[in-house]
Copies of this chain bind each other. A is one copy, B any other.
Amino acid sequence: MTIPRAAKTLRRTRIQEEKEEQILEAALDVFSASGFRGSTIDQIAEVAGMSKPNLLYYFRTKEAMHRALIDRVLYTWLEPLRAFDAEGNPEAEIRSYIRRKLEMARDFPRESRLFANEVLQGAPHIEDELKGPLKELVDEKAEVIRAWAKSGKIVKCDPYHLIFSIWSTTQHYADFDVQVRAVLGQEHSGEGRFEDAARFLEQLFIGGLRPDPLEA
């Protein structure tokens, strides 16, 4: 009798690697475009170019596919924030954080939308990740920012809301891409909008965080 599920095998074969990769790629396409509830296994199967039971051979359920996808993407997604360096120059750190986040919005919009869909619908599948690893990382970086503010390197401000504002402004260009393009019109919808956005956001945040000269 054969062991019916790839998950139960101990060593992963070459085919397993390839097919799981192929499936997660398709799943990213579909989940990011329709959210968990709005996506169907059939859609993913079609995009992946294989039969539905074949998908379910590699991932027992729709939830398992979604979870595997999230696990795979989450670590990478937090990389820019992790790179935030306490020792660095505040202005340069914030500038490069904005730039990195904007690059991710441009180059990995599906990943951004995957999380956006999930969080927007109440984060039923990633609540633990938000309250655990994400919160810990943000707490750590918020402490860095707080120290910068205290020492007068940047203006006194709430570090959490600063981080939220960088997240929201940058991810906006991935998550609300259709709206951004609709408003900018055809003539400004080229990739140049990311450079314009970078210029504006750097100006906004650098100017808005410049330490108050009266305090010192």
Contacts and interface: CB of A to CB of B under 8 A. Distances in A.
Given A116-B120, A121-B34, A135 B197 contact: no
A77 interface: no
A158 B38 contact: no
Contacts of A134: 179, 182-183
A119 interface: yes
Contacts of A158: 196, 199-200
Given A36-B38, A37-B37, A172 B167 contact: yes
A92 interface: no
Contact of A130 (B113, B179, B207): B179
Contact of A172 (B37, B164, B206): B164
Copies of the polypeptide in the assembly: 2
A141 to B, nearest CB: 11
Interface string A138-174: 1000000000000000010110111011011101110
Contacts of A120: 113, 116-117, 120, 175-176
B205 A204 contact: yes
A213 to B, nearest CB: 11
Contacts of A180: 164
13 contacts: A33-B122, A37-B37, A116-B116, A116-B120, A116-B175, A134-B179, A134-B183, A155-B203, A157-B200, A164-B197, A167-B172, A168-B172, A207-B209
